Structure 1
Amino acid sequence: MDDISTSTLLITLAILILLSAYFSSSETGLMSINRYRLKHLENEGHKGALRVQKLIARPDRLIGLILIGNNLVNIGATTVATIICVRLYGDIWGPVVVTVGLTLIILIFAEVTPKTLAALYPEKVSFASSFILLPLLTLFYPFVYFINGITNGILVLLRISPLNDDGQNLSREELRTVVHEAGAMIPQKHQDMLVGILDLEKVTAEDIMVPRSDIVSIDINDDWKDIQRQLVNAQHTRVLLYRDSIDDAVGFVHMRDALRLLSKDQFTKASLLRAVREIYFTPESTPLHTLMYQFQAAKERIGLVVDEYGDIQGLVTLEDILEEIIGDFTTSIVPDHSKEAHVQQDGSVLVDGSANLRELNKEMDWNFPTEGPKTLNGLILEHLEDIPDANISVRIHGYPIEIIEIKDNMIKSVRVLPTYYSMPNEEDN
């Protein structure tokens, strides 16, 4: 070493620090690269992505290679720097200067700066470094294999699999976060649709069904003229027919079939009964994604929702499921739930007691709990544990509510006030 000039040693030191920066940036870039974008580029045949995928397929070997290279160049840099400092500052101050000086140099130029750059541009750094790392992995494979054998053995003793890749699978909530974080890359409408698809598993038929009391249906035992009048005024393409009680449902009649019978002068009660279509029943606890597949398999678009005792609780359609994904259809001739919520000039909202809580939350941007009762009437009754009188005020989940009308043991209408509003004689939740 004494024969080597100081200038040559300085050049060697600079090269070793650059190599250390290369290994540091490669490690950060390869470990922080977006795995899903990398998979997309790999499927498109991107050569850089293919090289990187080969490297990260075995992260234990990749990390072993990088750390071997980084430690070799850092130890070499320490040795060369020590020789230089001893020459310049003597045997006493030389080691002190090399310890302080080289630590700062490595931290700034070989660690923090290159790793920050790699974290900001992981793809560029990873694709470029893979040109060198792949041949190095082949060259040092025996050494890397030996080191990995020892470290993997230690991991096995700790009951940890070095090939465990469970962390690469996204949960539903993580996928929801990815969709929201996409920003301008995915339009807001498309984000809402994707999130709606993810939510189908958490929403049941009971959550979106038309309640039993709101089902448009016709008693087949009514006078024939009344039946004709109801069919003429029906706003739906399918109408439920029943005998005396909706629990004795006969089936759905399609308006197209009724018109066909009318055109052939065969429009009688008997022919109408022959034209009814079989009813599809589904439990109220059926998740929407399952119900959608069942509709698809049975080639159905409408079904009746039953409880555990087989009693009819409501009606659900394929359109209801689609609206959970893409939002309300504006072409519907039937008024949607907005008819149940009327914003007043003072900021309060008059709401029908039968309004569905999930629909109110979506339309009014409220946050009523939906785990229990499905309607606002049910939520208030559950909270009070009694049927209240009119003009009673209550605060539920932070929302001041004034009960306006009670009829037939049901809350028919309420006024929801702004959350900052305080009311006298208010019963808090």
Structure 2
Amino acid sequence: MSTTETVMWLLLALVGFAGSALCSGLETGLYRINRVRLAVRAAGEPPDVRARSLQRELERPDRLLASLLIGNNLFNYFGTVGVTALLGVFGFGEIAVIVLSALVITPLLLIFAESLPKEVFRLSSDRLTPRLTPFLVWSRRLYTGVGALPLVVGFGRWASRVVGADPSATVSDSPRERVAALLQESAGDGSITAAQSTLADRALRMGRLTVEEEMVAWRRVRTVPAGLDRERLLDRLASMPYARAPVLDRRGRVVGVLRHADLWLFPDEPIEALIREPARLNGSEPLRVALLQTVASPARCAIIERGRVPLGFATPKDLVEPLTGELPAW
């Protein structure tokens, strides 16, 4: 065998093992990369073109991982063929080639083309993976062009349906769920603290809640009737553990809200002047909207009612606790 052929087989073996190492490392890098940092880089000014391209690839994880699977097997084949040919060049027989492959080549392949690159990418996924995005894109296009990628992806989806699994179960179309997944990933790798992750998760859940889900049901609300004098009002309010009490007319409708402290702060004011108008909500308002209306109302609280029939009562504390957690009474 000529020197040219020897060099050719050597290059084929090196390309095979290097490509296998690259595919193995990228597989780990794609699992480990911080999606929040990637999104920040992609949305920066000027935007990181490779980060944006990697984001698009990650939207189809089945296709991306199938590309790496095809590439890894292909490069392993190149490396094995190259090494086998080189051993033949140096005069080893078929049995010797098999023995050397089992005792030497396989362990080296496992270490330098599998374990080592995976560990390198595990430690430096945010730095290395975006840089190698062009390799991911062009290899995916190549495998698609020759028909290998559609075949592998299609077979994977068929196998998933056969065993009763949803092949798209891990891919969410909901922006809120995607953000939640990003936050969980960031909390998992230490990019944000557990407290920050909890707060962000509460903020996402708060966007789905309505006033009716967080109000105090009317049967639990302590009220006072309109028309009582100051002394009787003080007696009534003294037995209540709350700072405010809705005031009801004879038909049970809410005419306003009275603050206990106002009876002491303004002893010369008539009772009617101390009754403040609450925000009036129907219960379907999102918490953020309801909180703004509640804080802006003179009574700084809200009555939830339909057709003037009261259904519940809410204070800013009730509306903000889904975000902050339980707060002391104020």
Same structural fold, with TM-score higher than 0.5 when normalized by the shorter chain: yes
1:321 matched residue in structure 2: 319
In our comparison, the structure showing a higher alpha carbon Rg is 1
Amino acid in the other structure paired with 1:42? A
Equivalent pair of 2:245/2:259 in contact (CA under 8 Å): yes
2:58 matched residue in structure 1: 56
More strand by share: 1
Equivalent pair of 1:17/1:106 in contact (CA under 8 Å): yes
1:363 matched residue in structure 2: none
Superposed, 1:202-351 pairs within 5 Å as: 204-206=214-216, 211-213=220-222, 217=224, 219-223=225-229, 226=231, 240-242=246-248, 247=252, 249-253=254-258, 268=270, 272=272, 277=277, 280=280, 290=286, 293-294=289-290, 296=292, 300=297, 301-304=300-303, 315-326=313-324, 336=329
| CA spacing shift, 1:275–1:290, aligned 2, 3 Å | same
Q: In 1, Cα distance between the equivalents of 2:23 and 2:84?
A: 22
1:37 matched residue in structure 2: 37
Equivalent pair of 1:253/1:276 in contact (CA under 8 Å): yes
1:109 matched residue in structure 2: 112
Residue deviations 1:49-68 (CA, integer Å, cap 9, x gap): 12323443444554454444
How far apart are 1:130 and its partner, in Å? Answer: 2.1
How far apart are 1:275 and its partner, in Å? Answer: 6.5
Select the residue among 181, 192, 199 that pairs with 1:185: 192
How far apart are 1:230 and its partner, in Å? Answer: 7.5
Q: In 1, Cα distance between the equivalents of 2:48 and 2:198?
A: 31
Structure 1: gaps (5+ residues) = 331-335, 338-429
More helix by share: 2
RMSD over equivalenced CA pairs, Å: 5.0
Structure 2: gaps (5+ residues) = none
1:93 and 2:96 aligned = yes
How far apart are 1:321 and its partner, in Å? Answer: 2.0
Equivalent pair of 1:253/1:277 in contact (CA under 8 Å): no
How far apart are 1:163 and its partner, in Å? Answer: 7.4
The percent identity for this pair of structures is 20
Q: 1:26 aligns to what SS in structure 2?
A: helix
How far apart are 1:294 and its partner, in Å? Answer: 3.9
Residue deviations 1:122-179 (CA, integer Å, cap 9, x gap): 2222123224444555566522xx2233334445656699777634753898688568
| CA spacing shift, 1:75–1:320, aligned 2, 3 Å | closer
| CA spacing shift, 1:241–1:30, aligned 2, 3 Å | closer
Equivalent pair of 2:66/2:153 in contact (CA under 8 Å): no
Equivalent pair of 2:258/2:274 in contact (CA under 8 Å): no
Q: 1:222 aligns to what SS in structure 2?
A: coil
How far apart are 1:42 and its partner, in Å? Answer: 0.9
The answer to which structure, 1 or 2, has the higher relative contact order (CA under 8 A, 6+ apart) is 2
1:150 and 2:156 aligned = no
Please give the TM-score of this superposition, normalised by the length of structure 2: 0.66
Q: In 2, Cα distance between the equivalents of 1:171 and 1:131?
A: 25
Equivalent pair of 1:61/1:148 in contact (CA under 8 Å): yes
| CA spacing shift, 1:47–1:305, aligned 2, 3 Å | closer
Provide the aligned length of Structure 1 versus Structure 2: 309
Select the residue among 66, 82, 85 that pairs with 2:84: 82
How far apart are 1:43 and its partner, in Å? Answer: 1.1
Q: 2:302 aligns to what SS in structure 1?
A: strand
Query: Which piece of structure 1 moves more, 59-68 or 92-101?
Result: 59-68
| CA spacing shift, 1:22–1:168, aligned 2, 3 Å | farther
Superposed, 1:366-405 pairs within 5 Å as: none
How far apart are 1:108 and its partner, in Å? Answer: 1.2
Q: In 2, Cα distance between the equivalents of 1:99 and 1:240?
A: 84
Q: In 1, Cα distance between the equivalents of 2:58 and 2:205?
A: 33
Q: In 1, Cα distance between the equivalents of 2:70 and 2:205?
A: 47
Q: In 2, Cα distance between the equivalents of 1:125 and 1:327?
A: 39
